[in-house]
Amino acid sequence: MHKHDSDAPARGIAAVNQVGGEHSARKEQHMMTTDNAFKDYPDIISVKQLQEMLHIGKNRARELLRSNEIPYIKIGYTFKIPKVNVIEFLNRNSIGN
């Protein structure tokens, strides 16, 4: 065993932690926020607007709401969806998370 061999695991862990930290910082930079996503939509959106935002049909939109994957408020027969809930849904389900 060489003197340097005992140091190798420690250096390897430090390198992994450093890379992981950089990856985490980059990941946070690419997360959607209310400041950088869907600026043209109001803070509270309709099912139709959800369909437009996610490029999905009415049935899939209602499925996402009823399964509570995207939390909403129901007033009478109308779904009121906070835009931030859509953004959080996309961040949770984006590839690489």
Q: What is the pTM of this model?
A: 0.66
Count of the separate structural domains present in the chain: 1
Query: Mind listing the pLDDT tens digit for each residue in 21-61?
Result: 444 444 555 677 877 889 999 999 999 999 999 999 999 99
Q: Which domain holds residue 56?
A: 3-93
The sign one gets for the Cα dihedral 58, 61, 67, 71 is: negative
